[in-house]
Amino acid sequence: MDKTERSEKMELYGRGFSLLEAALAEAPQEAMKFKPVPNEWSIHEIIIHIADSESNAALRARKLIVEPGGVLMGYDQDAWADTLNYHEHNFEDALEVTRLARKTTYELLKRQPDEVFTHSIIHPEYEAPYTFEQWINIYSAHIPGHIEQIKNNMRLWKEQK
Domains, the chain: 3-25+42-160 (1.20.120.450)
The whole model's pTM is what?
A: 0.94
* C-alpha–C-alpha distance, residues 21 and 107, integer Å: 19
Confidence of residue 86 (pLDDT cuts 50, 70, 90): very high
Among 129, 105, 133, smallest CA distance to 118 is for 133
* C-alpha–C-alpha distance, residues 24 and 103, integer Å: 18
Kindly calculate the radius of gyration of the chain based on its CA atoms and give it in whole angstroms: 17
Residues ≥6 apart with Cβ < 8 Å to 40: 153
pLDDT in tens, 23-42: 999 999 999 999 999 999 99
Q: What is the pLDDT of residue 72?
A: 93
| Cβ pair 61, 72 in contact under 8 A | no
